[in-house]
Amino acid sequence: MCGRKTLTKDKKSIIEELKIENWDETINYTPSYNIAPTQKSLVLVGEKDKRLVKSMNWGLIPSWSKNKNIGSKLINARSETLHEKPSFKYLIKSNRCIVLSDGYYEWNTTNSKKQPYYFYDKQKNILPMAGLWSSFLSKDNETILSYTIITKKADKEISHIHNRMPLIIDFNRIDDWVNIDGLIEVNSNYELVRKDLLSFYKVDSFVNSYRNNKKDCIQPIK
């Protein structure tokens, strides 16, 4: 799974790297070293064939849900079963997005000890994670935008640490993913997916608490 991530780049760098054309100016963005589920973070969607960045809650709340708290249970969506799950299968045709991140954390358990690792792009680029998003109207007439990150079986090089990883889209295929044009099959062999791009290292348990949001979170340890 992917249950914690980072986006440490500034707004200008994100816009330049991803060739963003529109940015929701209501967003109060600050770089983060420890983004946790239910928190707001940046998502790229396609709008009139242009790339638009919005802020959404991490944890999908289906439009038909009666309880917005369900979002904390829907932070990831397995690529292998997307077409089977009621929460996701109707979004594949209409509500695809890119979750903006430049790294993520996973925990490996050995001898009852959980060791956090930080995964990032070898070239220090953004990791465009495939996602699905939804719009939910609460009982208080508040519109809540939320998303989930699509995951797949981990690549062989990192599977000894965790058996799942985010489905990461190739930079040249971002528009194919977000600009809705019929049904796209999502699996680990699909040509949109980037491969062999991740590096990783151990980090301190300081990152375990989502309240810790400093550069210390991504400092390597031996």
pLDDT at 187 over 80: no
Q: What is the pLDDT of residues 27-73, one digit of tens each?
A: 999 999 999 999 999 999 998 889 999 999 999 999 999 999 999 99
Residue whose structure tokens are 């929460």 = 87
**DSSP label at residue 70:** G
Q: Is 106 a catalytic residue?
A: yes
The Cβ of residue 166 has, within 10 Å, a number of other Cβ atoms equal to 25
Q: Report the pLDDT value the prediction gives residue 192, as an integer from 0 to 100.
A: 61
Q: Can you give the pLDDT at residue 117?
A: 98
- Is residue 189 pLDDT above 80, yes or no? no
- Tokens 């990150």 correspond to 149
Mean pLDDT on 157-177: 91
Residue 185 has what pLDDT? 58
Specify the residue for token string 């054309």. Answer: 21
17 is known as an active-site residue: no
Q: Could you state, in order of their start, the residue ranges of all structural domains in the chain?
A: 5-218
Separation between Cα atoms, residue 96 and residue 8, nearest integer Å: 23
* pLDDT of residue 190 exceeding 60: no
- Specify which residues 132 forms β-bridges with: 96, 148
CB burial class (10 A; 0-12, 13-18, 19+) of residue 85? middle
Residue positions counted in the chain: 222
* 81 three-state secondary structure: helix
- Nearest CA-CA partner of 44 in 110, 97, 106, 101: 97
pLDDT at 106 > cutoff 70: yes
Q: Which of 16, 17, 106, 185 is catalytic?
A: 106
* CA–CA dist 109, 111 (Å, integer): 7
| pLDDT (0 to 100) of residue 25 | 92
DSSP 8-class letter at 17: H
What's the pLDDT tens digit per position in 8-21?
999 999 999 999 99
DSSP conformational letter for 143: E
Q: Is the pLDDT of residue 188 over 90?
A: no
Of the residues 2, 17, 80, 185, only one is catalytic, namely: 2
Q: Where are the beta strands (DSSP E) in the chain?
A: 5-7, 22-23, 32-35, 40-47, 50-58, 76-78, 96-101, 103-110, 113-121, 127-137, 143-153, 164-166, 198-202
* Residue type at 40 in one-letter notation: K
Question: What is the CATH T-level fold of the domain 5-218, as seen in this structure?
Answer: hypothetical protein yedk fold (3.90.1680)
Strand order in the sheet with 113-121: 32-35, 5-7, 103-110, 113-121, 198-202
